[in-house]
């Protein structure tokens, strides 16, 4: 398994770069992951999405429905893609430290 | 800029929406491979957690077992005359030019091993029989190229001998699963079904939350209290959708709910089995059977009268074998697998939707229809989706005749290929479909498969085709008068 190093902390990631140890997530980790997702800087808008994803994940153990993410954060899907170029399931979930949603998506 | 290696992809333009056979490019896609499976997943689905030490002997023995169990497989391995009619029919060959993506050459990877161990000449004089050992090098080719085939069967339609090449890929994947060689994507998804009831891994509380959210959202939009019931004991209908419909393709999910609402039929989903999709089909028989068993169990738990499969290609391909895989369905009405498109057409023909459809509601769309490989070639669903579209849309256009119905191209990611690490193959394989859509000028691409609905937006974007992708139930939902 590959690892990423952030501030001396080693975190295991999967082949797609999603962290495997959710409790090691921190805002610094998010910033480091953001760079691998073509997000040079995490703005307030990014944090709104990331925090929403983390809250939802902590409550339900899965990423939220995309429609719900858009409605609850107030960002239409197009804007989510502008914030996270590889999309809500890949880019945003990765930065928020969630597992990669897989299946027919 | 694409974030993956585009070298395997041929970019030449089509002529009148049709791609010409490409120049042969040896080994063009030999480097494109799926991530291997993880022990946590294979353990959960009764597969070896690593490649077995005696994998060669076990693999050869498994092939022998399959030859005994499936007589058609032996015939398919024996009768090919190498005529080459299939060669340029595969979207992965058209998109990459890699000769091993010609169906005949891909199948040869198994045929050569079959001849080596199961034909008299191959056993005694392998070279004379053009036979090959099942060795390290061969296994690597199997792992690569049997996961660059989407088991879509387009090649079979053009085979003068009627060889079902998908059966050959299915056999090779089954043998690999037996010896501990499988992909992360497929095994992870099957493991999630046993854990949570669905491919995406949506736990029951989240599934209920999704349904409640859709109820609120649709009420806000329409002013009509449309229900999305969960685990409703005694409902008339159990809907087994792809879980992606209650995650990403929510417009399709809303379409189902509106249809049941307008018809006044009580329905439910089940948190034990909120997935019609069957990734066991992409892996091995034992898991396909186990995943399928859950559907009848859920229906009996809830005491429903009717089971309806949602818009999912592999769900339907495995689903039509439910009586063989999971036993008789005599207590249900109908006593055989029933698809949402079939149900909708039955309602249309019975007049149950007369006066309840406003076709003008879809007038902003010029609609075209993508036949999912599994619906059209493995599930006899060709006319039904078109009949629904014609009933709810004024503007419908077909793609070129050689690219639709039983000759449809796979979306490029079916049957175990919808995973990001093989994006070059997905985009190469998605090219014929993208070019055919572009040729129509349509702005809405309807289909009845969740894998297609996930792959097509990416492939259309990659190939520069500005089109919205959605479900047939979605179009119907737009037009239903509530």
> What are the beta bridge partners of residue B18?
B15
Give the residue from B199, B206, B375 with the most A CB atoms within 10 Å of its CB, the best one to mutate.
B206
* Structural domain for A31, as ranges: 3-95
Chain A residue numbers touching B269 (CB-CB < 8 A)? none
> What are the beta bridge partners of residue B230?
B269
User: Phi and psi (nearest 5°) for B470?
Assistant: -165, -175
Whether A70 sits among the annotated catalytic residues: the reply is no
CATH number at residue A15: 1.10.10.370
Computed over every residue of chain B, the mean pLDDT equals 97
Look at strands B444-447 and B468-471 and give their pairing: parallel
Q: How many CB atoms lie within 10 A of CB B61?
A: 15
Q: Binning pLDDT at 50, 70 and 90, where does residue B17 land?
A: confident
| Helix ranges restricted to H, B276-407 | 285-302, 313-319, 322-326, 340-350, 373-378, 383-392
Q: How many CB atoms lie within 10 A of CB B292?
A: 24
How many whole angstroms separate alpha carbon B306 and alpha carbon B162? 35
pLDDT for B368-395, tens place per residue? 999 999 999 999 999 999 999 999 999 9
How many whole angstroms separate alpha carbon B365 and alpha carbon B363? 5
**What is the C-alpha R_g of chain B?**
22
Residue A3 has what pLDDT? 84
User: Phi and psi (nearest 5°) for B238?
Assistant: -100, 120
Interface predicted TM-score (ipTM) of this complex, two decimals: 0.95
What's the DSSP call for residue B35?
A: P
| Helix ranges restricted to H, B86-242 | 91-96, 103-118, 120-124, 136-145, 154-158, 165-179, 184-196, 204-222
Confidence check: pLDDT of B1 > 80: no
Got the DSSP string for A28-96? HHHHHHHHTTT--S--HHHHHHHHHHHHHHHHHSSPPPHHHHHHHHT--HHHHHHHSTTHIIIIIHHHT
Helix axes A44-60, A66-73, angle to 10 degrees: 130
How many whole angstroms separate alpha carbon B367 and alpha carbon B347? 22
Does the CB of A16 have a partner CB in chain B at under 8 Å? yes
Does the CB of A13 have a partner CB in chain B at under 8 Å? no
In a domain, A105, yes or no: no
Nearest neighbour of B35 by CB, restricted to A15, A60, A64:
A15
In a domain, A77, yes or no: yes
Residue A23 has what pLDDT? 87
Does the CB of A61 have a partner CB in chain B at under 8 Å? yes
> Please, what are the domains in chain B?
48-181 (1.10.1060), 188-349 (1.20.1050), 356-479 (3.40.50)
Query: Residue A78: which residues within 8 A CB-CB, separation 6 or more?
Result: none
Residue in A closest to B36 by C-alpha: A15
In a domain, A102, yes or no: no
Residue B482 has what pLDDT? 96
Q: Binning pLDDT at 50, 70 and 90, where does residue B81 land?
A: very high
> Is B188's CB within 8 Å of A102's CB?
yes
Nearest neighbour of B242 by CB, restricted to A67, A102, A104:
A104
Residues B94 and B432: beta-carbon distance below 8 Å: yes
In a domain, A79, yes or no: yes
Which structure tokens are listed for B72?
Answer: 């058609």
More confident call, B179 vs B2: B179
Chain A residue numbers touching B188 (CB-CB < 8 A)? 102
User: Considering the entire predicted model, what is its pTM?
Assistant: 0.97
CA-based nearest residue to B130, from B104, B108, B145, B100: B108
pLDDT for A11-60, tens place per residue? 999 999 999 988 889 999 999 999 889 899 999 999 999 999 999 999 99
User: Phi and psi (nearest 5°) for B304?
Assistant: -80, 165
Q: Binning pLDDT at 50, 70 and 90, where does residue B2 land?
A: low
**What is the C-alpha R_g of chain A?**
13
Got the DSSP string for B223-242? SS-----BS-TT-SEEEE--
In a domain, A101, yes or no: no
In a domain, A103, yes or no: no
Domain count, chain A: 1
Kindly report the CA angle at B243 between B219 and B325, in degrees rounded to 5?
135
| Helix ranges restricted to H, B21-153 | 39-44, 55-69, 71-79, 91-96, 103-118, 120-124, 136-145
Interface A–B counts its CB contacts (< 8 A) at 75
pLDDT for A64-94, tens place per residue? 999 999 999 999 999 999 999 999 988 999 9
The residue assigned the tokens 């949506």 is: B202
């Amino acid at each position: 398994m590959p690892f990423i190093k952030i501030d001396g902390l080693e975190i295991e990631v999967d082949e797609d770069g999603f962290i495997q140890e959710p409790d090691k997530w921190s805002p610094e980790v998010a910033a480091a992951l953001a760079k691998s997702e073509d997000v040079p800087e995490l703005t307030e808008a990014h944090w709104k999405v990331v925090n929403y994803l983390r809250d939802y994940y902590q409550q339900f153990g899965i990423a939220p429905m995309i429609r719900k993410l858009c409605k609850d954060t107030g960002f239409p899907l197009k804007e989510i893609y502008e914030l996270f170029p590889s999309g809500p399931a890949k880019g945003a979930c990765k930065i928020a430290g969630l597992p990669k949603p897989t299946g027919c998506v | 800029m694409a974030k993956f290696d585009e070298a395997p992809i041929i970019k030449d333009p089509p002529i009148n929406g049709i791609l010409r056979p490409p120049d042969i490019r040896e080994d063009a896609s030999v480097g494109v491979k799926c991530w291997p499976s993880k022990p946590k997943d294979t353990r959960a689905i009764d597969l070896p957690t690593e490649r077995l030490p005696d994998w060669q002997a076990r693999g050869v023995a498994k092939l022998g077992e399959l030859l005994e169990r499936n007589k058609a497989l032996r015939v398919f391995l024996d009768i090919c005359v190498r005529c080459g009619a299939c060669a340029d029919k595969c979207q992965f060959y058209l998109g990459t030019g890699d000769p091993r993506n010609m169906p005949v050459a891909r199948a040869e990877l198994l045929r050569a091993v079959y001849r080596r161990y199961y034909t008299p000449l191959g056993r005694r004089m392998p070279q004379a029989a053009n036979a090959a050992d099942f060795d390290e090098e061969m296994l690597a080719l199997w792992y690569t190229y049997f996961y660059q085939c989407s088991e879509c069967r387009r090649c079979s339609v053009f085979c003068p001998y009627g060889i079902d090449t998908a059966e050959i890929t299915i056999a090779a994947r089954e043998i690999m699963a037996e010896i501990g060689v499988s992909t992360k994507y497929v095994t992870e998804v099957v493991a999630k079904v046993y854990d949570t009831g669905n491919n995406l891994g949506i736990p029951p509380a989240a599934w209920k939350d999704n349904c409640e959210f859709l109820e609120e959202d649709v009420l806000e939009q329409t002013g009509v209290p449309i229900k999305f019931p969960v685990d409703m004991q005694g409902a008339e209908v159990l809907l087994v959708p792809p879980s992606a419909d209650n995650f990403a393709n929510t417009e399709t999910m809303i379409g189902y709910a509106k249809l049941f609402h307008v018809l006044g039929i009580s329905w439910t989903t089940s948190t034990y089995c909120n997935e019609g999709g069957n990734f066991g089909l992409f892996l091995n028989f034992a898991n396909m059977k186990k995943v399928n068993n859950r559907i009848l169990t859920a229906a009996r738990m809830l005491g429903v009268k009717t089971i309806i499969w949602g818009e999912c290609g592999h769900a339907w391909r495995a689903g039509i074998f439910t009586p063989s895989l999971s036993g008789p369905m005599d207590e249900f009405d109908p006593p055989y697998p029933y698809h949402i498109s079939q149900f909708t057409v039955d309602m249309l023909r019975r007049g149950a939707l007369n006066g309840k459809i406003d076709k003008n509601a879809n007038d902003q769309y010029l609609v075209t229809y993508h036949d999912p490989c599994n619906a059209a070639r493995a599930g006899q669903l060709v006319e039904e989706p078109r009949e629904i579209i014609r009933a709810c849309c004024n503007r419908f256009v077909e793609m070129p005749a050689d690219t639709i119905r039983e000759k449809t191209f796979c979306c490029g990611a079916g049957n175990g290929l919808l995973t990001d690490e093989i994006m070059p193959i997905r985009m190469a394989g998605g090219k014929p479909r993208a070019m055919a859509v572009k040729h129509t000028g349509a702005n809405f691409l309807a289909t009845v498969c969740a894998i297609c609905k996930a792959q097509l937006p990416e492939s259309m974007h990659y190939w520069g085709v500005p089109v919205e992708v959605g479900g047939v139930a979605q179009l119907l939902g737009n037009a239903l008068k509530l």
